[in-house]
Amino acid sequence: MAPPHDDKAAVEVNDDSTPKRPISNVLFIIAMQTEASPLVNKFQLVEEPESVFPKGVPWVRYYGKYKDLDINIVCPGKDKILGVDSVGTVSASLLTYASIQALQPPYHKCRNCWGFKAKGASIGDVFLASDVAFHDRRIPIPVFDLYGVGSRQAFSTPNLANELNLKVGKLSTGDSLDMCPQDEAAIVANDATVKDMEGAAIAYVAHLLEVPAIFLKAVTDIIDGDKPTAEEFLQNLAAVAAALDLAATQVIDFINGKSCSEL
Amino acid sequence: MAPPHDDKAAVEVNDDSTPKRPISNVLFIIAMQTEASPLVNKFQLVEEPESVFPKGVPWVRYYGKYKDLDINIVCPGKDKILGVDSVGTVSASLLTYASIQALQPPYHKCRNCWGFKAKGASIGDVFLASDVAFHDRRIPIPVFDLYGVGSRQAFSTPNLANELNLKVGKLSTGDSLDMCPQDEAAIVANDATVKDMEGAAIAYVAHLLEVPAIFLKAVTDIIDGDKPTAEEFLQNLAAVAAALDLAATQVIDFINGKSCSEL
């Protein structure tokens, strides 16, 4: 069953004057189930019995009320054939699009990411992204090159960053877990401190549909460290989910009762 | 204004027994306006005055009747900020998803692509893809590696390929126009003859929503030739659009009056 749509929130999103009406609903897009579960428990959300999404898609939605906020958490779910989490930009963009269409929220995104030690990132750090861009869409034709990079600012939340003492840095997105030399050069050009596999695609959809998006990212791996990424990623995933859980709860507590312009 | 939905066609798509009912509508997903225009003219389609898509998205739909078929051509349109065609996997997957949701078609996809001389491709050749996969989603964790490659068979159309004497080969998709060594290794592993920037993402969405998809690709560039790809791509785009136009018309003429199982 779908929760009632909040048309006021939808109006608020499309209004450039960012009115003072408090935010009423928040949507989390979380790529991996391991990261979603602590938040689902924390906010005492329930899985929807009848999907708002089309028949056949593996997307999962949890929803409920926490303080004055309607909270939705959506995950791309398990690949229908292979059974692994449907990570990456294609499924993240589809899920974001379908969720915004179905739920009409201002929204909010969190997931694990990979950090650069050289830029001040440590495992377990939680970052708020100031900007997002792609690092694996090289189109060396004038203007198409900028389209490929797709650099966008996240919704600005200076009070949130100060109050919760979150680190702020640029986020770079690509569909590979590893990093080839061309990716690395693009990440450096993007001036990124953290790297993930979904952020810039979600930012693209949010921009297309004029929904403010913030990006909360917990560092699971140090790319310029000495351990192989895949190994470090799997070791740290559950532990970092706890850090993200804590930060996400603090963010939700901070958002509660505030309008977008007060963030 | 949206054309009437064809619920029979939607039922047909979800029926494993591939019944004999003739195909009634066809959706073309075409990434670049230059490639869409000849077909829009050929089939005498008109641009819809009121979009079936959400407010704010740049997606464009042309529709009309040709012989016994409802024809829709959708393009991702111009990037809202940069004004270039919205190429690549993220916008292609979103457009495919939204179009299938709005129009409920069996569908069909065509676009330019890049060919490998070493595998028998020449500029202007039109290929029908037998299989599609990604070459820029490296996730070196067991099972996730297969998810990243995302290999899928296209809907099988042996009669179509024979009748129109189309070349058949595997298609590999990535978000870059150029090809770094890691991409090249993955393309070789995918055994691809042609390369594009959208196909595997469209195949992913089609599979998710259980819609049969075929991939008609005209070669604009030879990757293993001696000209730089960006230059060759721009030179050949308009000329190859004419070859694709001819092939797409032949395909539509062949489809007209037939059921999916007769293709």
State yes or no: pLDDT of A116 exceeds 90: no
Q: Which of A53, A73, A52 is nearest to A63 (CA)?
A: A73
In angstroms, the CA B84 to CA B78 distance is: 5
Query: Model confidence at A170, in pLDDT bands (50, 70, 90)?
Result: very high
**What are the C-alpha distances in Å from A3 to residues A48, A102, B222?**
9, 10, 52
Average pLDDT of the segment spanning A172-183: 94
What pLDDT is attached to residue A61?
95
Partner-chain contact A147 B87, CB within 8 Å: yes
| ipTM score above 0.95 | no
Radius of gyration of chain A (CA): 17
Question: A22-48, pLDDT tens digit by residue?
Answer: 888 888 998 888 888 888 999 999 998
pLDDT(A76) > 70: yes
Least confident among A85-99, A136-150, B153-167, B218-232: B218-232
Query: Closest by alpha carbon to B123, among B251, B223, B23?
Result: B223
DSSP per residue, B167-194: EEEEEEE-S-SS--HHHHHHHHHTT-SE
Identify the pLDDT of residue A59.
95
CA of B222 vs chain A CAs: smallest distance (Å): 16
Of B200, B13, B22, B202, nearest in space to B104 by CA? B13
Q: Which residue of A has its CA nearest to B200?
A: A90
Is any Cβ of chain B less than 8 angstroms from the Cβ of A11? no
A88/B177 Cβ within 8 A? no
Whether pLDDT at A228 is above 50 = yes
Check A70, A85, A136, A221 and give the catalytic one: A221
| Residue B5, pLDDT above cutoff 50 | no
Chain B nearest CA to A142, separation (Å) = 10
Tokens of residue A179, six digits: 């990093």
Confidence of residue A143 (pLDDT cuts 50, 70, 90): very high
CB contact under 8 A, A208 and B88: no
Distance from CA of A144 to the nearest CA of B (A): 6
Pick from B147, B178, B208: which is nearest to A82 by CB?
B147
**Among B61, B63, B66, which Cα is nearest to B77's?**
B61
Given a cut of 80, whether residue A164 has pLDDT beyond it is: yes
Any B CB within 8 A of A238 CB = no
| B261 contacts: CB under 8 Å, gap ≥ 6 | B18, B19, B20
Cβ B60 vs Cβ B47: under 8 Å:
yes
Which pLDDT value is given to residue B32?
85
B126-134 and B167-173 strand pairing: parallel
What is the rounded average pLDDT of the residues B117-131?
76
Dump the DSSP string for A104-136. Answer: ---EEEEEEEEE-GGGT--TT-EEEEEEEEESS
pLDDT tens readout for residues B62-89: 999 999 998 999 999 999 889 999 989 9
CB within 8 Å: B80 and A209:
no
Mean pLDDT in residue range B136-154: 94
**CB-nearest partner of B94 from A137, A182, A205:** A205
Question: For an interface test with B, which of A89, A149, A152, A208 has the most B Cβ atoms less than 10 Å from its Cβ?
Answer: A208
Q: Which of B35, B131, B183, B196 is catalytic?
A: B35
Distance from CA of B254 to the nearest CA of A (A): 30
What H or E segment, with its residue span, contains residue A185? helix A181-189
Residue A97's contacts (CB-CB under 8 Å, 6 or more residues apart) are A205, A209, B94, B97, B98
pLDDT at B158 over 80: yes
The pLDDT of residue A109 is above 70: no
| Residue that the structure tokens 């529709």 belong to | B63
Two tokens, residue B175: 């978000």
Mean pLDDT to the nearest integer, A212-216 = 89
Q: Which residues of chain A are within 8 Å of residue B79 when distances are taken between CB atoms?
A: 147
Among B80, B84, B140, whose Cβ lies nearest the Cβ of A230? B140
Q: Does A2 score more than 60 pLDDT?
A: no
What pLDDT band is residue A15 in, cutting at 50, 70 and 90? Answer: very low
More confident of the two residues B45 and A240 = B45
DSSP assignment, residue A194? E
Quote the pLDDT of residue A1: 33
Q: Rounded to whole angstroms, how far apart are CA atoms A36 and A245? A: 8
CB < 8 Å to A146, chain B: 82
Band (A118; pLDDT cuts 50, 70, 90): low
Residues 6+ apart with CB under 8 A from A170: A129, A130, A131, A132, A133, A190, A191, A192, A193, A194
What pLDDT score was predicted for residue A50? 81
Between positions 17 and 36 of A, the ones with CB within 8 A of B are none
Determine the pLDDT at residue B117: 58
- Give helix A89-103 / helix B89-103 axis angle, nearest 10°: 40
Q: What pLDDT digit, counting tens, does each position of B201-220 carry?
A: 999 998 888 888 889 888 87
| The residue type at A80 | K
Q: How far apart are CA B225 and CA B228, in angstroms?
A: 8
Interface contact A146, partner B, CB < 8 A: yes
Does B57 sit within 8 Å of A209, measured CB to CB? yes
Query: What pLDDT band is residue A119 in, cutting at 50, 70 and 90?
Result: low
Does residue A252 sit in helix, strand or coil? helix
Q: Parallel, antiparallel, or unpaired for β A107-115 and A215-222?
A: parallel
Residue B6's pLDDT band (cuts 50, 70, 90):
very low
Percentage of chain B beyond pLDDT 90 is: 45
Q: What is the pLDDT of residue B103?
A: 85
The answer, for A136 touching chain B at a CB cutoff of 8 Å, is yes
Weakest-pLDDT range from A7-11, A157-161, A174-178, A204-208: A7-11
Q: Please spell the DSSP secondary structure of chain B, one letter per residue.
A: -PPPP-HHHHHHHT-TT--SPPP-EEEEE-S-HHHHHHHHHHTT-EE-SS-SSPTT---EEEEEEETTEEEEEEE--B-TTT-SB--SHHHHHHHHHHHHHHH---EEEEEEEEE-GGGT--TT-EEEEEEEEESS----STTHHHHHH--EEPPP-HHHHHHHT-EEEEEEE-S-SS--HHHHHHHHHTT-SEEESSHHHHHHHHHHTT----EEEEEEEETTSSS-HHHHHHHHHHHHHHHHHHHHHHHHHHHTT--GGG-
Positive or negative CA dihedral for B142, B145, B147, B150?
negative
Quote the mean pLDDT of chain B: 83
Lowest mean pLDDT among A217-221, B109-113, B146-150, B252-256: B109-113
A261 in Cβ contact with A154 (< 8 Å) = no
Q: Specify whether A198 is catalytic.
A: no
Res B115: pLDDT: 56
What's residue B7's pLDDT?
28
C-beta atoms of A175 and B136 within 8 A:
yes
Q: What is the pLDDT of residue A4?
A: 31
Do A137 and B97 lie within an 8 Å CB cutoff? no
* Spatial distance between the Cα atoms of B48 and B53, rounded to a whole number of angstroms: 11
How many angstroms separate the CA atoms of A102 and B98, rounded?
12
| A82 part of contact set with chain B, CB < 8 Å | yes
Copy the structure tokens of residue A95.
């899920």
Residue tagged active-site, from B70, B136, B183, B221: B221
Whether the per-residue pLDDT at B138 is higher than 90: the answer is yes
Question: What is the predicted pLDDT for the residue at B64?
Answer: 94
What is the amino acid identity at position B94?
L
pLDDT in tens, B18-61: 457 788 888 899 888 888 888 899 999 999 888 889 988 999 99
Residue of A86, A139, A143, A179 to mutate, interface with B, max B Cβ within 10 Å:
A139
Give the chain A residue nearest B141 (alpha carbons). Answer: A230
- pLDDT-above-90 percentage for chain A: 45
Residue B183 is among the residues annotated as catalytic for this protein: no
Q: Does B153 touch chain A (CB under 8 A)?
A: no
Q: What's the CA gap between A146 and B60, in Å, rounded?
A: 22
Find the range with the poorest average confidence among A60-64, A100-104, A109-113, A143-147: A109-113
- A 186-215 residues with CB below 8 A of B? 201, 204-205, 207-210
